Amino acid sequence: MAKRKLLILGILSPILAIVFYILVYNVLSDLSSNLEKDWLFRLAASAVAMTVPFFVMLLLSIRARKQSAFPLSAKIGMTIAALSLLLTLMPIRDGIARAKQTRNRQLHDVAAPEFVTTDLHGNAQHLSDYKGKVVLINIWATWCEPCRNEMPKLDQLYREKQTQGFVVLGMSDESVATQQKFLTQVPVTYPLLMVNEQIPKFYREIAQYPALFLIDREGRLQPAPAPRQPFEQTASVVNALLAQRP
């Protein structure tokens, strides 16, 4: 009976690993006073929590082997538990992507990578077409609730500042049909562009949505607010860039 329990625990290990990850990450997020500064700690702690089912299984297996023979069912359970450790690659990969996103967002006075793509109507779009203007690139997704809340504010800022040389470009890797359906619920007037293979990885390696990139009138990247910051911070940075003249 004990050996069957080891098999069952082994089978449950991947599920428990994911449950522990979600639980620890959410608890630490709720306790956090600054989500943007302690994200690495939260990811690391959550990744460690994912290993708990494996180590529990390991301890039980060692105890079982001391008491009697180690049957095939227990070996299978232990193997599955060991394989569940591969799930820790998810937060590790997320951490790497978020570190890249943070680094890219903080770049300043560096030429923004050029891109060529199309908008939802099939019209060609080049970043270089907007040189001389302040460009805000918004990487978004229809499933992203903060994106849904932010886009009307971005659209209002775009309409207010457009005559001063301000441009907002939305980017999504979702289909034209999906984006157009979304626009019936959250209409915006600024261009929405398709993410394709011609878009540099700089704009595609996103771990947290919505993601903003700011480009000044000279076509240089400038530090952008972190994801999910108060919109007033974004508006303030945009106004400061608009006040600068080439």
SS (H, E, C) 108-133: CCEECCCCEEEECCCCEEEHHHHCCC
Question: If you average pLDDT over residues 158-183, what whole number do you get?
Answer: 95
- Residue 135 is predicted with a pLDDT of 97
> Would you call 73 helix, strand, or coil by DSSP?
helix
In this prediction the pTM is 0.74
The amino acid at residue 211 is A
> Would you call 107 helix, strand, or coil by DSSP?
coil
d(CA 147, CA 212): 11
| Distances, alpha carbon 180 to alpha carbons 76, 84, 149, 185, 193, in Å | 49, 40, 17, 9, 12
Question: If you average pLDDT over residues 3-11, what whole number do you get?
Answer: 81
Nearest residue to 46 (alpha-carbon basis) of 64, 31, 73, 27 = 27
- Residue 74 is predicted with a pLDDT of 78
- Residue 42 is predicted with a pLDDT of 84
Please check the confidence at residue 11 and state whether its pLDDT lies above 60.
Answer: yes
Question: If you average pLDDT over residues 60-82, what whole number do you get?
Answer: 80
Please check the confidence at residue 244 and state whether its pLDDT lies above 80.
Answer: yes
- Residue 3 is predicted with a pLDDT of 60
Please check the confidence at residue 1 and state whether its pLDDT lies above 60.
Answer: no
Please check the confidence at residue 119 and state whether its pLDDT lies above 90.
Answer: yes
Nearest residue to 2 (alpha-carbon basis) of 95, 53, 69, 94 = 69
- Residue 188 is predicted with a pLDDT of 95
- Residue 107 is predicted with a pLDDT of 85
For residue 199, give the H/E element and its range: none
Beta strands in 34-149 (DSSP E): 110-111, 116-118, 124-126, 134-139
Nearest residue to 167 (alpha-carbon basis) of 208, 219, 203 = 219
- Residue 2 is predicted with a pLDDT of 57
For residue 194, give the H/E element and its range: strand 192-194
d(CA 50, CA 22): 9
- Res. 165 pLDDT band, cuts 50 70 90: very high
d(CA 238, CA 242): 6
**How do residues 80-115 score in pLDDT, each as one tens digit?**
989 999 999 888 888 888 888 888 888 889 999 999
Q: What residues form DSSP beta bridges with 117? A: 125
Please check the confidence at residue 246 and state whether its pLDDT lies above 70.
Answer: no
Question: If you average pLDDT over residues 195-218, what whole number do you get?
Answer: 88
- Residue 73 is predicted with a pLDDT of 79
Please check the confidence at residue 153 and state whether its pLDDT lies above 90.
Answer: yes
Question: If you average pLDDT over residues 140-159, what whole number do you get?
Answer: 94
- Res. 180 pLDDT band, cuts 50 70 90: very high
- Residue 102 is predicted with a pLDDT of 80
Torsion angles phi and psi, residue 67, rounded to 5: -85, -35
